């Protein structure tokens, strides 16, 4: 699959026919399922830039008013013109911008991150919410706490979207928006930022795209259970890719890396699925034999664990484009 060419064409705004345009959607309702049953809020033509907004994970908007149920309420679904089951949609994130001056997180560590006897004083009912100030002008966040030893703490802002998903394939169960799987979902991967492209398999006509769960910053693993949760403005351009093998799991590309996601109940299972996805990607794009792939991937692969907080464990298998650019497509 010529993902790099797709990525570049989306960035410069090319369309198959006609001139691209910008369209806006101001959401008034948000959803907590990646459902195929919800009527599309807007039809989006390939190549057009869709501009919209999201609320935070607890349902608070840019003015601090609660307008949705907690649990990662998402904006959409957006009907992508031309998308049919079996296709792939490439969603290039053209903008992710914080639109308020605070974020919320939790004073805790998730169970998978450390032994329970260590984290018990801040776990479950003992956890409290922490508010952070967001200085978008200077690009950092600071916690609003009275603890002496972190009164000067500040972390760089790194806004990204925690949820990007198409409607899930099954018609018997509609996953909640804190789940992630082959349809994307609550991936919480901080590579899903301005300029990145997310590749997702299509299971229903129009793909039915959902976006939300804006994060001002988050470390790998999301080990507080929440990132720095805030509301966002976002934009995207969609392209439909036809005639390619179906994707088993989402793929993500930015200017520096390609990354294949894997989700499973175990870390080993997620790692194997992510590594397989990366292998299949470079094998097809560069016509590699299995032996050749061992030498391309082995010395250069990087792994990330985007979140430990979800129902399934996630792994991203990554390789830098500077390695691949030396190969022949």
Q: Dihedral of the CA atoms 191, 229, 186, 257 (nearest 10)? A: 0
Both structure tokens of 311: 């129902």
> For 277-303, how does the pLDDT look when each residue is reduced to its tens digit (9 = 90+)?
999 999 999 999 999 999 999 999 999
> For 243-260, how does the pLDDT look when each residue is reduced to its tens digit (9 = 90+)?
999 999 999 999 999 999
- pLDDT value for 311: 94
Q: What are phi and psi of 326, to 5 degrees?
A: -85, -10
SS3 86: coil
Proportion of the chain above pLDDT 90, given as a percent: 90
Q: In what order do the strands lie in the sheet with 209-215?
A: 42-44, 74-80, 209-215, 160-166, 184-186, 180-181
Q: Is the pLDDT of residue 4 over 80?
A: no
Expressed in percent and rounded to 5, the helix, strand and coil fractions of the chain are 15, 35, 50
pLDDT grade, residue 16 (50/70/90)?
very low
Say how many CA atoms lie within 13 Å of 251 toward its Cβ: 26
Q: Is the pLDDT of residue 6 over 60?
A: no
Q: Is the pLDDT of residue 11 over 90?
A: no
Both structure tokens of 215: 């994060």
What is the pTM for the complete model shown?
A: 0.93
Give the number of other Cβ atoms within 10 Å of residue 45's Cβ.
18
Q: How far apart are CA 47 and CA 41, in angstroms?
A: 18
Q: What is the DSSP string of 1-53?
A: --HHHHHHHHHTT--SSS---EEE---S--BSB--SSSPPSEEE-TTPEEEEE
Say how many CA atoms lie within 13 Å of 164 toward its Cβ: 31
pLDDT grade, residue 329 (50/70/90)?
confident
CA distances from 145 to 62, 98, 206, 229 (A): 22, 21, 46, 16
Cβ–Cβ under 8 Å, residues 274 and 306:
no
More confident residue, 10 or 58: 58
Q: Is the pLDDT of residue 13 over 50?
A: no
Q: What are phi and psi of 193, to 5 degrees?
A: -130, -175
Summary mean pLDDT of the chain = 94
Over residues 156-179, the mean pLDDT reads: 93
- pLDDT value for 319: 98
Q: Is the pLDDT of residue 217 over 70?
A: yes
- pLDDT value for 278: 98
- pLDDT value for 308: 96
More confident residue, 199 or 18: 199
Cβ–Cβ under 8 Å, residues 320 and 256:
yes
Please report which helix (H) or strand (E) contains residue 278, including its range. helix 267-286
- pLDDT value for 232: 98
């Amino acid at each position: 699959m010529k993902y790099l060419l797709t990525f570049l064409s989306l960035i410069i705004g090319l369309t198959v026919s006609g001139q691209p345009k910008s369209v806006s959607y101001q959401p008034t309702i948000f959803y907590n399922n990646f459902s195929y049953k919800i009527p599309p809020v807007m039809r989006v033509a390939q190549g057009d830039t869709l501009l919209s907004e999201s609320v935070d994970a607890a349902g608070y908007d840019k003015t601090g008013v609660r307008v949705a149920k907690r649990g990662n309420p998402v904006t959409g679904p957006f009907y992508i013109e031309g998308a049919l089951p079996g296709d792939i949609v490439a969603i290039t994130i053209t903008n992710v911008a914080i639109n308020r001056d605070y974020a919320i997180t939790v004073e805790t560590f998730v169970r998978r991150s450390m032994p329970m006897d260590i984290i018990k004083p801040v776990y479950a009912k003992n956890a409290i919410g922490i508010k952070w100030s967001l200085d978008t002008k200077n690009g950092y966040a600071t916690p609003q706490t009275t603890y002496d030893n972190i009164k000067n703490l500040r972390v760089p802002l790194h806004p990204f979207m925690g949820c990007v998903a198409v409607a899930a394939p099954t018609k018997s169960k509609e996953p909640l928006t804190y789940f992630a799987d082959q349809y994307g979902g609550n991936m919480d991967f901080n590579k899903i930022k301005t300029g990145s492209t997310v590749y997702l398999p299509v299971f229903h006509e129009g793909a039915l795209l959902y976006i939300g769960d804006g994060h001002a910053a988050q470390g790998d693993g999301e080990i507080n259970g929440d990132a720095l949760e805030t509301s966002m403005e976002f934009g995207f351009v969609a392209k439909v890719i036809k005639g390619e093998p179906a994707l088993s799991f989402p793929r993500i590309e930015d200017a520096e890396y390609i990354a294949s996601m894997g989700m499973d109940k175990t870390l080993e299972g997620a790692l194997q699925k992510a590594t397989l996805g990366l292998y299949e990607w470079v094998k097809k794009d560069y016509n590699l034999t299995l032996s050749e792939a061992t030498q391309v991937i082995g010395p250069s692969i990087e792994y990330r664990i985007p979140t430990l907080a979800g129902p399934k464990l996630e792994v991203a298998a990554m390789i830098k484009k500077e390695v691949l650019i030396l190969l022949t497509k």
